[in-house]
Structure 1
């Protein structure tokens, strides 16, 4: 009996002191980063975004094209000189042109630069969104980890109480043989014993589901890697008022930058563009022998000035300005929501700490009460109902303490996420 009580006391002390983040949990998070398909997709999108930035920068480089054309024209103008067999033909019927053409942007008054900055901002946003997804997955893994530890501890409590009831069953059987107990006491003990065993099955079923969830996230079976002694430490530092370290806020602020660069790009459409155009090659149609291809070249500059586009540019600018406004309101909404969640989690942490202190006292009292009840029942001083009440109180005290420890860890973990803590690094 003392061995059973020692086992219960040991189980009740699980997670009593805060520990550092387990290394195996950090490893699980890295497994998730390497395995999860959505992260792979976003990392691929990052490469596409980098290519789009290079594509925008390529707009400043010269464009060189080889050209070749052939045209047959009929009829063509011909003039026969009076008194002569000579026929003057200013245009050939067979037109041939082969050469190289080039265009180089000389000046666009920041138009191409605004498009480059817009693409760079979009690439940066995608990087932050990938980091945000990684953070969400990391904390999802941590929550599953805590859930598995919680279920392991509950199963351990059930096992200890099952052993305790099995000892009680033997005690009642012995008393029944000597006429000191009744059949109802033995029947009640066995009913309660089966109830505890069914609860254990329920916990084991939930545990298997959580392990399957962990394997889905990490891509590997890691059932033997969970520390049941782990309790997440409550953060001592409160979140800053701006919450700029939060991953969601970072992405939202970057979305504002993307919208602002989009507005600058929309405004730059009103600016002119100056190009250098050049070309060289061989073609015919040169007098006096219009049929013989000749070497030629041309060079010059061209200026393109937007004048009227049916209010299209003005509408695009208005839409871009509206997107900036929407992005700013979205950031404010996110920060307001985080502020609310921080206050709620802090309240939960304070309440669970207080509950946990009360649960510690109740557990000590329940342990002492059970010891006295077992001794008195063995000596025939109290009834079986008194012993059963002491055992029930002991179980409830154990489960309450584990539940409050778990709730405290979950709230602490949520507050760390709101603060943007990257525990896996």
Structure 2
């Protein structure tokens, strides 16, 4: 029901001219009708939106999975594997150190811990909101010593008697209970609880999304570390080769078979290769520290565990993509956006309920006496019981503006949901393209490395036999170094693209934070 459809009735029927007895009779007749409508919740009901994801075959046909050797499968492109997404996808690298780090990051990472605290906060907030559905009861004992002023109300009585009236100080003892309960006829409180539960869901999905991002960042940093160590090994191997060429050139110069120019060029090449090492070692240290930060460790604390060089973790032949239509349920950010849309929709119901009358039961029961020994006597009993109805008549446009604000917020939440789904779709497709094209690039770079090494071997042989010049040897050596470094970088990129693909698919949270429905999430025991 829209607020514009609600009519409060004619003022002539409920105005001050109606006798109090008649108003009480009307209220008594109206209350049963209102109470029987207690299950009514005004405002729109939430239904999950259609994410409008592509058909099942979309992810598979345009961007086929590529084998790890970097070439297309025999017979051309094939459809991607639609197997279930592995919740422990990092195990596909078959690297025990990476697996160990991933198991530790869940409990150690500070971002994940902060997300867990925010989830606990949302659950506490839900409890605060839900308390409005229950009566509020207060115990209110009191003691008061009171002296009436002779120049106050007593002076009026003294005007009739002609003599001043003196009242000694009195003590008032009182003990009792005050209770208040607003009947949630229009679903005002129920809509608030619904919005609070949706916020709990949003916090739960935010924690899962934080875990997915943290695991992906951990895997990327670890792979980049192994890539930097591989490049250090390549530079050291080329440094050995350059020193061999320098010694050979010096020997030939001593025998008069070459000039000092070749010796200086060879020495320059040695220093050029050696200059690569500090930058690569700095990268190695940075990635170790980045991994330490993810695990809540001080800088350098993981050096003993990670300093020993290991190969770049290879990717499996295929990356299962699952069913694209399930992407909206796997990715926590999409589910979080849906929960926020749910909360915005429920808040519209809260705003609509403000246009309707509220019914509240108030009461107080207690004992009142001027003497403590008489406090618990039946004659000291006093109570007040009765319902009250409050109907908004003029609010200066506050209620209407609040409703329009909530409707605009719902539209904004839907746009955010649609953008999140669309962005997820783009991320998956982009990750597939990057994964495929980088494998093709890696295959070409591997072939370049093989040809460059053969060219270096031939140029050195010709130079040793005196039929080739030294410049050709230096050029071949530089080409080998650059080709090997680029191949290592590409191998690193293939593995990090594989990580990005799984991040885009939203995998990695299922075992740590299993899927929970809204009720179980809201009722879960808060974290301590």
RMSD: 3.4
SS of the aligned residue for 1:99 comes to strand
| CA-CA distance at 1:30 after TM superposition | 4.6
Distance in 2 between the 1:279 and 1:34 partners? 51
Q: 154, 165, 174: which one pairs with 2:242?
A: 165
1:26-425 pair list within 5 angstroms: 26-59=99-132, 60-68=134-142, 70=144, 71-74=146-149, 75-76=153-154, 94=170, 96=172, 98-105=174-181, 107-109=183-185, 110-220=187-297, 221-223=301-303, 224-225=305-306, 227-233=310-316, 235-237=319-321, 240=324, 243-244=327-328, 245-284=330-369, 294-298=379-383, 300-308=385-393, 309-422=395-508
Could you say which residue in structure 1 is the equivalent of 2:97? 24
- Contact 1:355–1:404 (Cα < 8 Å) also in 2: yes
- Contact 1:283–1:294 (Cα < 8 Å) also in 2: no
Distance in 2 between the 1:47 and 1:390 partners? 62
> What stretches of structure 2 of length at least 5 have no aligned partner?
1-67, 71-90, 371-376, 512-528
- Residue by residue, what CA displacement relative to the aligned partner does 1:124-183 show, whole Å, maximum 9, x if unpaired? 212222222222222222221121111111111101101111111222222223322222
Distance in 2 between the 1:113 and 1:342 partners? 39
| CA-CA distance at 1:330 after TM superposition | 1.1
Could you say which residue in structure 1 is the equivalent of 2:20? none
SS of the aligned residue for 1:359 comes to helix
> What stretches of structure 1 of length at least 5 have no aligned partner?
1-14, 83-87, 286-291
- Residue by residue, what CA displacement relative to the aligned partner does 1:347-380 show, whole Å, maximum 9, x if unpaired? 2222212212212222222222223233333222
Change (3 A) 1:198 1:424: farther
Change (3 A) 1:166 1:275: same
TM-score, normalising length: structure 1: 0.82
Distance in 1 between the 2:212 and 2:433 partners? 24
Bigger helix fraction: 1
Distance in 1 between the 2:240 and 2:124 partners? 65
- Contact 1:108–1:272 (Cα < 8 Å) also in 2: no
Q: After the TM superposition, which parts of structure 1 deviate over 4 Å for at least 4 consecutive aligned residues? A: 15-19, 76-82, 91-95
SS of the aligned residue for 2:354 comes to helix
SS of the aligned residue for 2:365 comes to strand
Higher deviation after alignment, 189-198 or 249-258: 249-258
Change (3 A) 1:80 1:326: closer
> Number of residue pairs matched?
400
Higher deviation after alignment, 249-258 or 47-56: 47-56
SS of the aligned residue for 1:270 comes to coil
| CA-CA distance at 1:227 after TM superposition | 3.8
- Contact 2:174–2:369 (Cα < 8 Å) also in 1: no
Change (3 A) 1:19 1:181: farther
Distance in 1 between the 2:322 and 2:272 partners? 44
- Contact 1:370–1:394 (Cα < 8 Å) also in 2: yes
